[in-house]
Amino acid sequence: MKLVVFGANGPTGRLLTQQALDEGHTVTAVTRRPDEFPLTAPQLRVSGGDALDPAAVARAVAGQDRVISTLGVPYTKEPVTTFSQGTRNIAEAMSRHGLRRLVCVSSIGVHTDIPPEMTFLFRRVVGPVLLSMGRSVYEDVRRMEQIVRATDLDWTIVRPSGLFDTAAVSDYGVMVAPQRVTGMFTSRADLADLLLREAVDDRHVRACIEVTTTQGTPNYLKVFVKEALHIGG
């Protein structure tokens, strides 16, 4: 299958690209910095382009079978349009070229409420601070979800929790919205695996799903410090 991955040079995008290549798929990896993309393979094409550039998006989408978006930006106080405008360009290019299947990464942060089963410290301190820090990002993610829902594409929106790194895919949990997952973290390996499964196997078409890792999760205070200091991606 021919897959195109937007945001391919991010941590999740690289994992997803490698997993897809390992399974024998042909991948077009779209990144603003193609010279820095670390992966190579006979069935890999690295396409330089920005999701905010409609012409670059159209070139990348043409001739593909499925589209996966792992677009992301760090927390910022400045207005964010990467998710909404980038995804609008992707959806329009897909419609123009006759593609149907779109899988895109959202965030559990689209929820303004914090589940009561979370710890007191998380509900009263960590969660509210993270939601405040990421306000402009989450606002644009909500706009992105609205844009995707309004299309006639066969879409799936995937909402991970706090992202962290692991060496392998685990037995992660998935829930279909409006049901809520209870975990606080999602490994990037699990997220990448789910994105690939959704795109290739046509699972959860026209649905929002939440994913959490249930094994080997980190200390949330360490993750909180990492996010607060803008360290890593």
Query: pLDDT digit string (tens) for 127-185?
Result: 445 555 556 888 999 999 999 999 999 999 999 988 889 999 999 999 998 887 777 88
* Residue 233 in domain: no
Question: DSSP letters of 27-82?
Answer: EEEEES-GGG-----TTEEEEE--TT-HHHHHHHHTT-SEEEE-------SS---H
**The tokens 């996966």 sit on which residue?**
68
Domain that holds residue 154: 2-228
**The tokens 């949330």 sit on which residue?**
220
What local confidence, expressed as pLDDT, does residue 232 receive? 33
- Residues 24, 39: Cα–Cα separation, whole Å: 15
SS3 187: strand
* Residue 132 in domain: yes
- Residues 185, 230: Cα–Cα separation, whole Å: 17
User: What is the DSSP secondary structure assignment for residue 193, as one 8-state letter?
Assistant: H
- Residues 211, 184: Cα–Cα separation, whole Å: 10
Structure tokens at 59: 């070139």
- Residues 101, 156: Cα–Cα separation, whole Å: 8
Domain of residue 200, CATH code: 3.40.50.720
User: What is the DSSP secondary structure assignment for residue 215, as one 8-state letter?
Assistant: S
- Which amino acid is residue 184, in one-letter code? M
Total domain count, the chain: 1
Structure tokens at 169: 């895919």
Strand 185-187 versus strand 162-164 pairing type: parallel
Q: What is the pLDDT along the chain (233 residues), one digit of tens a residue?
A: 999 999 999 999 999 999 999 999 999 999 999 999 999 999 999 999 999 999 999 999 999 999 999 999 876 778 889 999 999 999 999 999 999 999 999 988 886 555 555 554 454 444 445 555 556 888 999 999 999 999 999 999 999 988 889 999 999 999 998 887 777 889 999 999 999 999 999 999 999 999 999 888 877 666 655 544 443 34
Structure tokens at 29: 């990896």
pTM score, two decimals? 0.88
In 3D space, the residue among 143, 131, 199, 190 whose CA is nearest the CA of residue 165 turns out to be: 190
- Which amino acid is residue 214, in one-letter code? T
